[in-house]
Chains A and B, each alone.
Chain A
Amino acid sequence: DTAVSQTPKYLVTQMGNDKSIKCEQNLGHDTMYWYKQDSKKFLKIMFSYNNKELIINETVPNRFSPKSPDKAHLNLHINSLELGDSAVYFCASSQSTGVGEKLFFGSGTQLSVL
């Protein structure tokens, strides 16, 4: 049983298109995250939700819109895709005890914008 699952695993699309990535966790965690890993493997936080409430929103273009329908799901919708959006997007989750809980990561969605 996969703890944090993302779909799709690969996403190849044209510039200007709109696409979504879905994430689900079955760990009972109440905090979920989106991270972006670029071609140099740098990992940057994009968004975080706690109990369906947005708590972290880094300097991400407005074309990126996260949505958390419930505690177990966090989706990422991207409008008007650009070449620079090509990256691997990781979903993660943790429990929110406030004392440094570890993150559980999904296996990533490799987005290629042509």
Chain B
Amino acid sequence: AQSVAQPEDQVNVAEGNPLTVKCTYSVSGNPYLFWYVQYPNRGLQFLLKYITGDNLVKGSYGFEAEFNKSQTSFHLKKPSALVSDSALYFCAVTTSGTYKYIFGTGTRLKVLA
């Protein structure tokens, strides 16, 4: 069965510092991995995805994520955090031939001015 783990409920980081939001996954077969962001009272918005190819994926708003097959991880990163990055971040996984996207429990990112 597919599963996604986001081990941190909340991540606090100072503005201007680098940020990392962690995600590990478990699937049978090759994973398709995603990050989404949710602002208060809004739906989820797509940030980036890994399908195949280069392990470092670049996405919206300066975010990037690194796929690590041996560690089954897909951590979200940004070199310099902004206060406006404060939101709820979800990692998700699916595999080829299925429409079932499994989401992690979410990590609340708080960027402090």
Contact = CB atoms under 8 A, between A and B. Distances in A.
Contact of A105 (B43, B96, B105, B106): B43
B88 interface: yes
B42 A56 contact: no
A90 interface: yes
Interface residues of A, number: 28
Interface in B78-104: 88, 90, 92, 94, 96-97, 99-103
Interface residues of B, number: 25
A50 B99 contact: yes
A100 B36 CA distance: 14
Is chain A's interface secondary structure helix, strand, loop, or mixed overall? strand
Given A103-B44, A107-B42, A108-B42, A96 B99 contact: yes
Nearest to B96: A98
Nearest to B44: A105
Contacts of A41: 38, 88, 105-106
Given A42-B105, A42-B106, A43-B90, A48 B46 contact: no
A105 B42 CA distance: 9
A105 B99 contact: no
Interface in A1-51: 4, 31, 33, 35, 40-45, 48, 50
Contact of B51 (A4, A31, A100, A108): A100
A99 B38 CA distance: 24
B12 to A, nearest CB: 17
B3 interface: no
Given A100-B49, A105-B44, A107-B42, 4 more contacts: A43-B90, A103-B36, A105-B43, A106-B43
30 contacts: A31-B99, A33-B99, A33-B101, A35-B103, A41-B88, A42-B103, A42-B105, A43-B44, A43-B106, A44-B103, A45-B100, A56-B99, A90-B43, A96-B99, A98-B96, A99-B96, A100-B51, A100-B94, A102-B34, A102-B49, A103-B44, A103-B46, A103-B101, A105-B36, A105-B44, A105-B45, A106-B43, A107-B42, A107-B43, A108-B41
